[in-house]
Structure 1
Amino acid sequence: MASIGALPQTLKSITATKINELGKQRTLFDKAKTKIREDAEAATDLHTRAQILLNGVSRLKGYPKDALDKDDMDLDVESSDDDSESEMPNLDMGQLRQGDHSNIRRWIGQLENELRYLELKHDHASFYSKLVTEWLAQLDAQNTSAINKDSGVGRAEMHDQRAQWESLVFSTGNHVEEKEIRSYLHDLFKKDKLTKQAFKEMRESLKKFGNDLATEGGWLNVEELEWVSNALMKTDLLSAEKTAILKEFMRNKEVTQEVADVLNMRLSSLDSWGWSKEGIPVEMRRQLNGKYRVFMDEDLLDALMLQYLGTKWAIKLREVFTSFLLSHAWTPIQEKIPEEYMERRKYFYGRPSRSANQTINNLRKATYQKEYFMSQLPESVDEGAQNYDDNSQVKSALNTKHSLLHRLITESLIQKNARGEFTAVRSDYKWFGPSLPHTTALTVLKYFGVPQKWLNFFKVFLEAPLRFVQDGPAAQVQTRKRGIPMSHTLSDCFGESVLFCMDYAVNQGTNGNILYRLHDDFWFWGTGKDCEQAWKSMTKFANLMGLEFNEEKTGTVQMGKVQKSQILPVGEIRWGFLVLDAEQGKFVIDQKQVDQHVEELYRQLSSCKSIFEWVQAWNGYFGRFFANNFAKPALCFGRDHIDMAIATLSRIEAALFGKSSHGDAEQKGGVTNYLRGLIAERFNIHDLPEGFFYYPVELGGLELLNPFVNLLSMRESIKQTPQRRLQKAILADEIRYYEAKERFEKQGSDFPTTLRASNDQPLSFPSLKEHNKYPETFSLGYYSAYCDLIQIPKEKSVANTGDLRKNMSGLKGPTSTTSKRTIDPEWTVMTPYWRWVAELYQDEMVHTYGSLAAVNREFMPLGVVKTLKEGRFRWQG
């Protein structure tokens, strides 16, 4: 359900008032409409009837100057000096006067249609208000139920996961030795002069930062509190009520200054700061993947202070870790190329061109630094907290995960072509957040130079007293002994600092290869030998730091001519609903796992008591969760992946609506037919057009998401298979080889000294086989193919037809005042998705309502709809 706390009471009151006013307007409209029809029926001739209808409809639509008085019957309407934009039919009164009865009847019919459309818009406004009222009433009922419900209620899996979480958080777990961790870090960061120097600079920088921050004084002003608040609201930490309070704080500069003053007082006495002895409330929230996460609900001022300090430390840590990455201590990814080969290449091919830097290895380095290295930590206060699985952000964690899958498949295609083999390993740590030993985090930070004052504060932060809200007023307060709190930027600082050591250990253990890591979810690929070395480094790290691998998410896939490893972990490589098939060399959807979630979606939809809440659940689960967990299409996946996703979504929809709430087969035909049935049953509204369900709320629609549109529009952009793209890359390199050979034979070398063999004979031009060695350093063809294969196909837009232009021009101004524009009079601001939706359903919408809008915007309680849509949806259980 959506949290009712997200809706301020004042907005609810305004909504009720607006709905009441709409009722009054409807009464006045009905009275005027009845009078127009009665007068028109009583007219003694067609001319008078047309005039009555035109006068009446013009006034109802707000164009009184378009109405005609009897004295104007000899004028042509087109010559009117009214410069307003009339929506009225263009009546030629000269024709009417001449007695063209067929024309008169046509105009009368058109005016009667206009009157009917006005009536329909009022009907739809009334219906829409009922939908909103139903939503609000249901949210109030759910809120009351949540307050009054028995504290022991909950699904079995919630109790199981809570028991597991408590067994980790309230016990010290595997014993870790500070001395052993320090010895490991010493071997890692002080093995040679270059590493020592880079580490020394990192340590000194963190030490200075910590000391300066501790003595700063007057930390926060109103401007800084603004970014702190925005960052905090981007996390999942605050309840809806506290979010509303914080927004109210930020609206009043005087109040904001008071909050800043109080926070500065707390910051100036950090040595004595501590959690409330009564215990910090924690609650379990169900995620769509079926897992529960435990969130703290601390005091709002504490949350702001911790967000400020967490962001400051996060930015600094990312800065120093990045400097270390760019130092000589970090081994760059590169092929081992003999010096003799490099000399021959320079001699025969000449000096490197500008395109020489366009290599796969250079692309890997740049991508790793930009997208994956320390991706949990913000680079600036403007970036703020990272959103977990937020697909509304351009640079979101979800998009980064999808791009990782695209890279894996692209790498497998290229490496199998170039080397004949490819191995990939994927794993994460079991309960990383709840199980990370405090000794591990604090020892690593101490070794990195963080001053003792801050280590003391971090220890207090970690050892929070907790009590479960589900246990009621008598809940036991227990002190956290292990793990880091969810959704806190300070927690990201601790986790990333520890895992940075693993990143570097793998880099050194594999002589420069990359461990792609998103928090504690990590992927490594390359040769079988490199993967074995990486796994040894990760295993050693885990054992010392007190961490365990998650066997459910740990696996290895080997492709091509490679000997099966006895060292690498056994298991499948999975992500979302995808499993990597070694024989096919691609991801396929696990249909059994999908079926489990179909049952869960059916359960969630069945618990929705209002139409709008049902649509929210559908959009979140079917429209986003399923589609996201099939991964975004990419050229490396080919069309097959899109076809597989479309077929699976179709099967899900058929499975859901092949049965009714009673278990029989009544509601076949898909989601819109099912909703038609619900609406007819509850509101006695029938014959709703398809567009009503998919059109945006601004036009009187339900804004149901249709993931098929995105998939089908992307499918059209894929013109060739991944294999064909690689064949073109190989052919392009071969053409460059023969061009270089011809140039050398005609012009000779750029170098004056002839390169000779051991027998003093001039060396001949390299063979094609020798030319194709080390493709990740020299192949422009493979580089170009790599860049293409990782691309997400563009969504092909529908054509802007004449009918659509005409219908959109009738919309009154932008359909949204926010950055999110839906169906809009301005074609260029619309996404391909909304262009398709507008085109697909326009005919039926115009036929039913007379325009693309089912209702005039001013007739709808849009404020409450948008506010509720923005609220966090709480899943049942």
Structure 2
Amino acid sequence: MASRVLRDVTNYKRSQLADRRKTFEERKAALLVVAKASNDPISTLADGLKKLGLKSTTATTQYGGFSLSNLRSMLKQATFDASIPSALPSAWRADLERLLDIQSNKYEYTDLFSRLATEWVDKPNDANILLDTRFGGDSTADSSDTESFESVQVGRDEMYRQRQEWDSFVFTERQTDTDAIEAYLTNLFVEPQPKKKVRETAFESLHRQFRDWTMEDRECSSQDVELAIKSVLKADLLSGRKRDELIALGDAGKGVLAEIADVINMEIANLGDWSWKPSPTPAQMRKQLNGKYRVYMDPEIHQALLLQYLGTHLAVHTKTVFKTFFRSRAWPKSAHTAMTSQDRARHEFYLGRKKLSFQDSLLFARREQFKDDFFLTQLPETVSEGNRDYNGSDDSHDEDSDKKSPLEIKQTLLRLGTTELMVQRKIYGSFTLCQTDFKWFGPSLPHSTIFAVLKFLGFEESHIEFFKKYLSMSLVFPQDGPNAEPRTRRCGVPISQTLSDMFGETVLACLDFAVSKATSGRCQLYRFHDDVWFWGQKADCEVAWEAIKKFTDVMGMALNEEKTGSVHVSDNGEKPSSTLPKGAVRWGFLVLDPVEGRWVVDMANVDLHIAEMRLQFAQCRSIFSYVQAWNSYMGRFLGNNFGQPANCLGLQHLDMIFSTFKYIQKKLFVDDDNVTGCEDVTSYLKSVIEERFGTQDIANVFLYWPVELGGLELRNPFIPLMTARENSVKEPKDLLEAAFERDEEAYDEAKRAFEKGSSRTIADVPKGCDAETFFSFEDFVRFREETSAPLKTAYDDLLDGPGVSGLEYTRFVEYALKSLPLEYRHSKHIKPEFVAMDVYWRWTVQLYGAEAMERFGGLGLGEKEMLPVELVNLMRSERVRWQG
């Protein structure tokens, strides 16, 4: 296992570090004794430093390094020059002794970092032990660390409740009326043809492309295997030993990957004979950060790679086909009040334009954003993109992809809903927003529904037979004991597999089309997997809701009542709909206030998560695991679920988050019992490290500095908020007010131009227009969503985030960065050039850089070659396993 190899390397480094540190401290003590007794202590110290190799504590002299040659010259001058004060040599001596202390600090913190890394490997959390042990993993924990295995096996009541409900869906066949599904889809997709056409209809083209797709003619390469490995790791499908083996496989070289590609090609050539091997497939329950449990399959590595390869190619093809259908005339795309050709002619006549610019319209912005961010967003655009990782944690992000991550999509959904509320409320005086999702969508999706949809769309029967084998796997939960009976899946799709994503998205793409068609494009489903949002005017939302209910009934699915609700905001006294679902509209920890029309924090939900955080932090058996849990919870999960700073949310929302974070920290560490004796995470970690390892007066910079520079990389959740606060919009509605004012100015300008223009002949005047009288302002703004460029600009601005700003760039920070030692210049976070750094790390350097320079002589906190950075990075690459 990679972790064992790196652990052995770390042990070797620690032994070497111990020898170096012991030798240095002995020489340091001897040097100080000699210098104290010397008639020329400064020269003695200088000579001793040179012998110890401490010419500089920072890179070279040109970047701020300490020059011993300069010191000698100044000492010689002091023997002759009476103008040099006597206190100055004393200061020089103190600086030389400080260099010795700095080196001692480096050795001490390198050793501390190494011990903390070793602790992380030796003392895995109970959740990690359970996952690895249940599936044959060779956990690196000592025997003493596994003594609690039996006690933690009991688990939590909520896990067992969700397991029973999962079983009730997955192992029970749910038959649906396939004839009714075919009739429904026929009515939805197939347009009546009054006369014979030579060209294909949009649906005929879609049907043909699915029918002609085949798996057998594909040739898997070593590069395809490499991409599949990355995707399986990103999906977090495998854990423990298998995950380690997969990482090692990815580094094995093209020769080994080519061998695996050959095996995959042989399996594809005989796909009709494929089956799950070995069988049954183990299954495991994992607790998620949001408190829910999900069941993951644990297939053999070669099976996971084969299915990932096939799933990715099929998913890319599916998205391409549906995107072509979306761009066709079959998919309705309309504003709330669409212009007719006569309306367009009137606008162009009065405004003196040959053609209105569609790309400058709000309608165009809506269509493009829907297509790019929400249409089949779970499916990859390209093979190299791999899986879209819907179930990924909030800290997961594929930096190599130019597509929005799942987290960014979620944030965009919040911003879109908020912006549309403001825009439509301003234009129409009212706005309706609805939310729902499907109850246990993955486990409850009927197999008969999947196959009926695929067959209707054109998939060959041989492919459907393969899909049936894939979905009808035999499962066993090792946690049920050695005598557990395997059971065959009868319903639902496996989680974190791209082939499953393709099934789900294909079925739900039919829902997307159904709603758009029913509302003539006035409502689109802003859907992220099975989380469904739609909005607009009340009447359109009512039609959309009926379409959703009809689809749900025909497909044999069920809506989740707990996550279904609607909010109606009206400035003209219009009452909410009696047919739309009742219930609150929620996003993360936010609830939409129907009276104020803004998002507020659900404090009851926050309190529940504080209790959960205490439980999870308490099970962290190492400092690094605590830091990782803190970063996931406080550094990302909570901040992301309050809504990242956005212009549409404004300064009031940002200050609300500040207050909530302050409340959370106080409740975490200063509860009624105050069991920790600390008031914040900094003092808590310092106290624990001192208790376990004996290191006193721990530097703050050690906690917050990046790992590759010798720190623990604890995230500060306040910094991202602070960087956005100065530029946050105080009143978001003012952006719309300004856009409406610009429309008025544009009308006045166009009217003056019209009235100054030459008279027109009757032939030049479209029907319904007056050649002498300019049209009214009401007519000018009647179709704002299609004609107002200022409105589109305001819409884009509201969706955007405030510009980030850091602290002032000082000469000291410039000096500190320029003096970054050469061996640290490839750091991912802290770089010699200030502008090349992320704003979070610019802020962090401003906060803690001075302490780093004072205690460590530079921004590197330890001896680079002795730091077990790769071991820590390997441990950090696996997602946090939450105690359940």
**Shorter-chain TM-score range:** over 0.9
- When the two chains are superposed, the root-mean-square deviation of aligned CA atoms in Å is 2.5
Match of 1:87 in 2: 66
The 5 A counterparts of 1:426-465 are: 426-465=435-474
Maintained 8 Å contact 2:475/2:487: yes
- Residue 12 of structure 1 aligns with an amino acid whose one-letter code is R
Maintained 8 Å contact 1:425/1:555: yes
The 5 A counterparts of 1:83-122 are: 86-88=65-67, 90-91=70-71, 92-98=74-80, 101-122=86-107
Maintained 8 Å contact 1:55/1:64: no
Any idea what the Cα deviations from partners look like across 1:415-469, whole Å, max 9, x if unmatched? 1110111001110100010000000000110111111110000001011110012
- Residue 246 of structure 1 aligns with an amino acid whose one-letter code is L
The CA distance in 2 between the partners of 1:787 and 1:526, in whole Å, is 18
Match of 2:620 in 1: 608
1:350 aligned to 2:352? yes
Q: How much does 1:686 deviate?
A: 2.4
Any idea what the Cα deviations from partners look like across 1:703-751, whole Å, max 9, x if unmatched? 1101111011111112441111111011000000000000001114788
- Structure 1's 473 and 342: CA in aligned 2 closer, same or farther, altered over 3 A? same
1:845 aligned to 2:879? no
Match of 2:379 in 1: 377
Paired residue secondary structure (2:742): helix
- Structure 1's 637 and 85: CA in aligned 2 closer, same or farther, altered over 3 A? closer
Match of 1:336 in 2: 338
Any idea what the Cα deviations from partners look like across 1:538-573, whole Å, max 9, x if unmatched? 100000001101011100000113332111111111
The CA distance in 1 between the partners of 2:719 and 2:773, in whole Å, is 57
Match of 1:693 in 2: 703
Q: How much does 1:790 deviate?
A: 0.3
Higher mean C-alpha deviation, range 600-609 or range 542-551: 600-609
The CA distance in 1 between the partners of 2:676 and 2:383, in whole Å, is 54
Q: How much does 1:11 deviate?
A: 0.8
1:63 aligned to 2:55? yes
Q: How much does 1:826 deviate?
A: 2.2
Give the aligned length: 845
Paired residue secondary structure (1:753): helix
Maintained 8 Å contact 1:280/1:465: yes
**Residue 597 (structure 1) aligned to one of 587, 590, 609:** 609
Q: How much does 1:56 deviate?
A: 1.5
The CA distance in 1 between the partners of 2:347 and 2:178, in whole Å, is 51
- Structure 1's 332 and 874: CA in aligned 2 closer, same or farther, altered over 3 A? same
- Residue 226 of structure 2 aligns with an amino acid whose one-letter code is E
Match of 2:591 in 1: 579
Structure 2: gaps of 5 or more residues: 134-145
Maintained 8 Å contact 2:566/2:584: yes
Residue identity over aligned pairs, in percent, reads 36
Q: How much does 1:853 deviate?
A: 3.1
Maintained 8 Å contact 1:814/1:826: no
Match of 2:41 in 1: 49
The CA distance in 2 between the partners of 1:418 and 1:643, in whole Å, is 28
The CA distance in 1 between the partners of 2:823 and 2:773, in whole Å, is 69
- Structure 1's 689 and 53: CA in aligned 2 closer, same or farther, altered over 3 A? same
- Residue 827 of structure 1 aligns with an amino acid whose one-letter code is F
The CA distance in 2 between the partners of 1:375 and 1:402, in whole Å, is 14
Paired residue secondary structure (1:139): coil
- Residue 426 of structure 2 aligns with an amino acid whose one-letter code is N
- Structure 1's 138 and 297: CA in aligned 2 closer, same or farther, altered over 3 A? same
Any idea what the Cα deviations from partners look like across 1:85-126, whole Å, max 9, x if unmatched? 853353123313327543322211211111122222222222
Maintained 8 Å contact 1:359/1:777: yes
Any idea what the Cα deviations from partners look like across 1:650-709, whole Å, max 9, x if unmatched? 10000111049xx33662431111112212222222222332221112333221101111
The CA distance in 2 between the partners of 1:853 and 1:751, in whole Å, is 80
Q: How much does 1:134 deviate?
A: 2.2
Any idea what the Cα deviations from partners look like across 1:34-76, whole Å, max 9, x if unmatched? 2211221221x2xx3111111212333443999xxxxxxxxxx
Higher mean C-alpha deviation, range 529-538 or range 346-355: 346-355
- Residue 359 of structure 1 aligns with an amino acid whose one-letter code is S
The 5 A counterparts of 1:312-331 are: 312-331=313-332
The 5 A counterparts of 1:637-786 are: 637-659=649-671, 663-664=673-674, 667-748=677-758, 753=763, 755=765, 762=771, 764-786=773-795
1:26 aligned to 2:8? no
Maintained 8 Å contact 1:58/1:64: no
**Residue 16 (structure 1) aligned to one of 11, 15, 21:** 11
Higher mean C-alpha deviation, range 263-272 or range 738-747: 263-272
The CA distance in 1 between the partners of 2:292 and 2:812, in whole Å, is 48
The CA distance in 2 between the partners of 1:618 and 1:111, in whole Å, is 39
Any idea what the Cα deviations from partners look like across 1:574-627, whole Å, max 9, x if unmatched? 111111111111111101100000001011111112111111111111111111
Structure 1: gaps of 5 or more residues: 67-80
Match of 1:241 in 2: 241
Maintained 8 Å contact 2:282/2:476: yes
The 5 A counterparts of 1:788-867 are: 788-813=797-822, 815=824, 817=826, 821-867=828-874
Any idea what the Cα deviations from partners look like across 1:633-655, whole Å, max 9, x if unmatched? 21000011111111101100001
- Residue 154 of structure 2 aligns with an amino acid whose one-letter code is V
Maintained 8 Å contact 2:348/2:356: no
- Structure 1's 28 and 752: CA in aligned 2 closer, same or farther, altered over 3 A? farther
Match of 2:137 in 1: none
Maintained 8 Å contact 2:63/2:819: no
- Structure 1's 504 and 738: CA in aligned 2 closer, same or farther, altered over 3 A? same
Paired residue secondary structure (2:609): helix
Match of 2:114 in 1: 129
Q: How much does 1:346 deviate?
A: 1.9
TM-score (norm 2): 0.91
Paired residue secondary structure (2:383): coil
The 5 A counterparts of 1:412-423 are: 412-423=421-432
Match of 2:300 in 1: 299
Maintained 8 Å contact 2:676/2:684: no
The CA distance in 1 between the partners of 2:694 and 2:4, in whole Å, is 30
- Residue 499 of structure 1 aligns with an amino acid whose one-letter code is L
Maintained 8 Å contact 1:813/1:825: no
Match of 1:71 in 2: none
**Residue 483 (structure 1) aligned to one of 478, 492, 505:** 492
- Residue 617 of structure 1 aligns with an amino acid whose one-letter code is A
Match of 2:207 in 1: 203
The CA distance in 1 between the partners of 2:700 and 2:226, in whole Å, is 43
Match of 1:70 in 2: none
Match of 1:359 in 2: 361
Q: How much does 1:848 deviate?
A: 3.2
